[in-house]
């Protein structure tokens, strides 16, 4: 079993549920039977250089939460391997998606834009969903600007083909 999967299974057990999602699922396990409260586990091996890990597709988040009215939670886990065994150093506990501060997030180019953690975890327990989505709009506006500049350069590069 992969390291990340072992961690997901262990955390799911803490909540009295099973981690039986697929790689394309929005969550690694669910807190309820109707699958409206997924938990997405983000694991980080502290012995590796993991920069700007992907959190979730912006489109997927919008469709899941805004269009369907579901909830979404994250747990961030730091771990290390000692003698081939996974040792969880710390975990963030359950964090509602909208408590993730845009001070540590950005939207980068993959598909419709993926939310990445570009700095250390910053949680704002007072941030509302509306405030989170205002931050997301600003993140997407920056992303769109970068993509437009990139497309201009590509057009210039291929104009004589």
Structure tokens at 64: 């899941």
- Between CA 153 and CA 148 the distance in angstroms is 9
pLDDT greater than 70 at residue 21: yes
Number of domains in the chain: 1
pTM: 0.89
- With vertex at residue 11, the alpha carbon angle to CA 113 and CA 14, rounded to the nearest 5 degrees, is 140
Q: What is the pLDDT of residue 49?
A: 76
**Proportion of the chain in helix, strand, coil states, percent, rounded to 5:** 35, 25, 40
pLDDT greater than 80 at residue 56: yes
* Region class of 8: left (phi > 0), else alpha (psi between -120 and 50), else beta: alpha
Give the whole-number percent of the chain exceeding pLDDT 70. Answer: 98
pLDDT in tens, 112-156: 999 999 999 999 999 999 999 999 999 999 999 999 999 999 999
pLDDT in tens, 86-106: 999 999 999 999 999 999 999
Beta-bridged to residue 56, according to DSSP, are 115
CATH classification of the domain holding 59: 3.40.600.10
Helix, strand counts (H, E) of the chain: 3, 8
Domain that holds residue 66: 3-158
């Amino acid at each position: 079993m992969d390291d990340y999967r072992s961690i997901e299974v262990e955390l799911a057990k803490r909540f009295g549920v099973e981690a039986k999602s697929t790689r394309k699922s929005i969550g690694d396990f669910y807190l309820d039977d109707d699958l409206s409260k997924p938990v997405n586990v983000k694991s980080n091996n502290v012995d590796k250089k993991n920069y700007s890990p992907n959190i979730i597709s912006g489109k997927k988040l919008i469709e899941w939460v805004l269009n369907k009215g579901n909830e979404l939670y994250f747990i961030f886990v730091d771990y290390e391997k000692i003698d081939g065994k996974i040792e969880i150093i710390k975990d963030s506990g359950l964090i509602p998606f909208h408590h993730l501060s845009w001070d540590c997030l950005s939207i980068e180019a993959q598909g419709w834009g993926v939310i990445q953690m570009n700095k250390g975890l910053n949680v704002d327990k007072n941030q509302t969903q509306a405030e989170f989505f205002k931050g997301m709009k600003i993140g997407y506006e920056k992303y769109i600007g970068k993509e437009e500049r990139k497309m201009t350069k590509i057009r210039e590069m291929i104009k004589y083909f």
